[in-house]
């Protein structure tokens, strides 16, 4: 699309006059007028300015390449949050979430409060993945399936029954395969707990590989040595968020992965510690704090002589240890939560639960500047328990942003028909 048509399209999309668009973009009316009447050839800077403006307003120009995304097991939409960030970093990159699948009422409400498709509309929730009919005309096509299938069956915090999980959660990945066998998205990105890599689940992983091979996610179906999956265990603390959170990430590409493809971005360590992610003084809700009696009980039970610390630290009550490395232990579902924060005070011992804003910051959501303890997510007025469930189950948005950037960078020359980067 040439510059003058772009301006006309953008104005029509946002229903703005030339004057109003000039104001929105921070340029003069004369500039917009020159652009739209074709009197000026676009400079590189003009193009960049327009691309940034379009991505900020989620405008997809008609001839642009758009990566269509389906977000399975969506939770709070860690994938969608990360895609937004990738787009901010790469204004040429355009995506559209064409549908999601989630069964938890509160997760759906949180997702809807925070995410929209490229035209600003609510994204359709296709509900229970086991009930999705991928051949239905109302089920959209997409280029990437992304989803972290429920991890309880593989987690050390659960019974580790894997595919034999009594609630059927261990076979949910087979529904990813069932859907992708019909839709044939170019990419599949999956996530799970590290436990999935244990010997106990060798057969589950072998089945995943077999099924992905059968539906075409390899170069050569008959080559038993070619794995359709690139995988890596990534820890949030190695990518800038001070939470010890290890997850396995798996990626497959229709037709096979290019040689040397990797899902392990170079680490981005920094000096930030859990203390840097805590709410400012006075913002932590009162109900987070343990009473003196509870603190004394913890001391005896865990054989910890004192909770007086010089800098805020994490207490792991499951392992009965103070984490002197300054990192937070893994944020989990509230029913498994053994994470406590020890505040640093000269003459007092203060131990408390972690607030939701702290949990979400440690899940890679950024702080909103100038508004105290808030993070950049609409909590939709939900309860501590519900929000903690989302955080405990969620994707680290910071890590997923880094991972998606890394993956798309490696594929941009190969799959230039699908997206610009």
Ligand X SMILES: C[S@@+](CC[C@H](N)C(=O)[O-])C[C@H]1O[C@@H](n2cnc3c(N)ncnc32)[C@H](O)[C@@H]1O
Window 21-60: contact mask with ligand X (x via CB under 6 A)? ----------------------------------------
Instruction: For residue 335, state whether it binds ligand X (rule: CB under 6 A).
Output: no
Cβ partners under 8 Å of residue 194, min gap 6: 233, 246, 247, 248
Q: How many residues bind ligand X (CB under 6 A)?
A: 21
Q: Do the Cβ atoms of 104 and 129 come closer than 8 Å?
A: no
Out of 6, 68, 75, 330, which residue is the one contacting ligand X (CB under 6 A)? 75
Instruction: For residue 109, state whether it binds ligand X (rule: CB under 6 A).
Output: no
Minimal distance, residue 102 CB to ligand X, in Å: 5
Torsion of CA 137, 102, 148, 116, to 10 degrees: 80
Instruction: For residue 196, state whether it binds ligand X (rule: CB under 6 A).
Output: no
* Paired tokens of 144: 């990437």
Distance, in Å, from the CA atom of 399 to the CA atom of 402, rounded to the nearest integer, reads 5
Instruction: For residue 364, state whether it binds ligand X (rule: CB under 6 A).
Output: no
Window 121-140: contact mask with ligand X (x via CB under 6 A)? -------xxx----------
Number of H helices, E strands in the chain: 12, 10
Out of 98, 356, 394, 401, which residue is the one contacting ligand X (CB under 6 A)? 394
**Is the CB of 136 or the CB of 223 nearer to ligand X?**
136
Distance, in Å, from the CA atom of 208 to the CA atom of 105, rounded to the nearest integer, reads 29
**Is the CB of 71 or the CB of 349 nearer to ligand X?**
71
Instruction: For residue 248, state whether it binds ligand X (rule: CB under 6 A).
Output: no
Out of 148, 162, 185, 256, which residue is the one contacting ligand X (CB under 6 A)? 148
Question: For this structure, is 151 an active site residue?
Answer: yes
DSSP structure string for 322-385: EETTS-B-----GGG--EEEEE--SS--EEEPPPHHHHHHTTTPPBPTTSTT-BSS--TT--HH
Instruction: Name the site residues for ligand X (rule: CB under 6 A).
Output: 73-76, 78, 101-104, 107, 128-130, 148, 150-151, 172, 390, 393-395
Which residues are identified as catalytic?
A: 151
């Amino acid at each position: 699309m040439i510059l003058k048509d772009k301006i006309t399209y953008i104005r029509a999309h946002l229903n703005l006059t030339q004057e109003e668009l000039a104001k929105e973009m921070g340029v003069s009316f004369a500039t917009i007028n020159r652009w739209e009447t074709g009197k000026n050839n676009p400079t590189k800077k003009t193009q960049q300015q327009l691309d940034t403006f379009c991505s900020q307003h989620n405008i997809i120009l008609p001839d642009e390449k758009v990566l269509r995304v389906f977000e399975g097991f969506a939770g709070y939409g860690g994938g969608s949050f990360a895609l937004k960030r990738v787009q901010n970093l790469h204004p040429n990159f355009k995506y559209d979430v064409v549908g999601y699948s989630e069964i938890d009422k509160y997760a759906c409400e949180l997702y809807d409060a925070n995410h929209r498709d490229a035209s600003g509309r609510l994204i359709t929730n296709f509900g229970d993945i086991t009930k999705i009919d991928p051949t239905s005309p109302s089920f959209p096509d997409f280029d990437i399936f992304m989803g972290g299938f429920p991890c309880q069956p593989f987690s050390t915090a659960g019974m580790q029954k894997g595919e034999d999980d009594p609630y059927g959660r261990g076979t949910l990945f087979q529904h990813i395969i069932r859907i992708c066998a019909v839709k044939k998205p170019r990419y599949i990105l999956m996530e799970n707990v590290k436990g999935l890599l244990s010997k106990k689940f060798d057969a589950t992983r072998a089945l995943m590989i077999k099924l992905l091979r059968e539906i075409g996610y390899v170069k050569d179906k008959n080559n038993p040595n070619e794995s359709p999956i690139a995988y890596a265990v990534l820890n949030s603390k190695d990518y800038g968020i001070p939470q010890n959170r290890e997850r396995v990430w798996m990626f497959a590409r229709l037709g096979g992965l290019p040689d040397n493809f990797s899902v392990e971005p170079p680490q981005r360590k920094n000096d930030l510690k859990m203390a840097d992610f805590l709410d400012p003084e006075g913002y932590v809700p009162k109900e987070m704090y343990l009473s003196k009696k509870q603190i004394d009980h913890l001391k005896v039970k865990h054989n910890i002589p004192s909770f007086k610390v010089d800098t805020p630290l994490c207490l792991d009550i499951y392992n009965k240890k103070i984490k002197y490395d300054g990192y937070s232990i893994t944020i989990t579902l509230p029913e498994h939560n053994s994470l406590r924060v020890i505040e640093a005070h000269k003459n007092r011992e203060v131990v408390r639960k972690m607030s939701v804003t702290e949990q979400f910051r440690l899940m890679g959501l950024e702080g909103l500047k100038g508004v105290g303890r808030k993070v950049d997510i609409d909590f939709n007025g939900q309860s501590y328990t519900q929000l903690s469930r989302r955080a405990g189950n969620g994707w680290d948005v910071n890590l997923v942003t880094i991972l998606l950037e890394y993956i798309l960078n490696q594929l941009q020359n190969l799959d230039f028909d699908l997206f610009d980067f």
